[in-house]
Amino acid sequence: MPVKTERHGGVLVVQLDRDEKRNAINGEMTESISAALDAGEDDPAVRAIVIAGGPTVFCAGTDIAEGSGTPTDRGGEYGIIRRRSNTPIIAAVEGSAFGGGFEIALACHLIVASSSATFGLPEVRRGLVATSAGLFRVPRALPLNVAREMLLTGDPVSAQRLADLGVVNRVVEPGMAVAEAIALAERIELNAPTSIRATLTALDAISEDDDAAGWAATEAAMNTILTSEDREEGLAAFFERRPPEWPGR
């Protein structure tokens, strides 16, 4: 299975485990992530969930060769991007979280990252756009000009930089992200379950209208890209391991 789960008292750890593909998301992984999160949310003994990758890569985003499969009913893309969970979900990031990997982290309620972690949205380098909420969650979470730079250059940003800007909650030594995420989850676990659920439900309701507008804008961008020659060239260059020669249309 491309996803492993482990219990630490009331904390469920969901680990992406497709190391040979840098934890890139295919259809099987989308289904496995969704099933693991569904089970955690439906278990009253689970008070918080930690989602983690490997020691050097959190997640490389969509498996370009296979695609990420069908969005799930409860989780949407990757089984998590459109999830409305009243169980706290914490991303524990070691190494790189690029493209959909960064979007998975942004779909979580909190982010813990190692000091060696990096985050990026490199879709423009392939003639693509961020399609899993990056186009609106990044500018919501970051100052607009920083978001623009990330989305337009595709350059990675360090965990410490994102912590300074308020996106990453805690930065820890390499190898300690999962342990710190569990500790943060246990801190949340000390509080009233009803209060936690009501708070997360309220926060989701506050952002609901903004999300609807963001998804509409994302769909419009996707429709433009799907028919572009730049997209064809970007993907061809990726598979042929060469620099792209953009036609610009």
Alpha-carbon distance of 6 to 40, in angstroms, equals 11
Our answer to whether residue 208 is catalytic in this structure is: no
**Longest C-alpha distance within the chain, in Å?**
57
Q: Virtual CA dihedral for 187, 34, 208, 226, nearest 10 degrees?
A: 130
Q: Which of the following is catalytic: 66, 103, 189, 245?
A: 103
Our answer to whether residue 103 is catalytic in this structure is: yes
Q: Which of the following is catalytic: 41, 77, 94, 123?
A: 123
Which residues neighbour 5 within 8 Å (Cβ) at sequence distance 6 or greater?
Answer: 12, 13, 14, 15, 36, 39, 40
The tokens describing 180, both together, are 């710190």
DSSP H helices in the chain: 27-42, 100-107, 134-141, 144-153, 159-164, 177-189, 193-226, 229-240
Active site residues: 103, 123
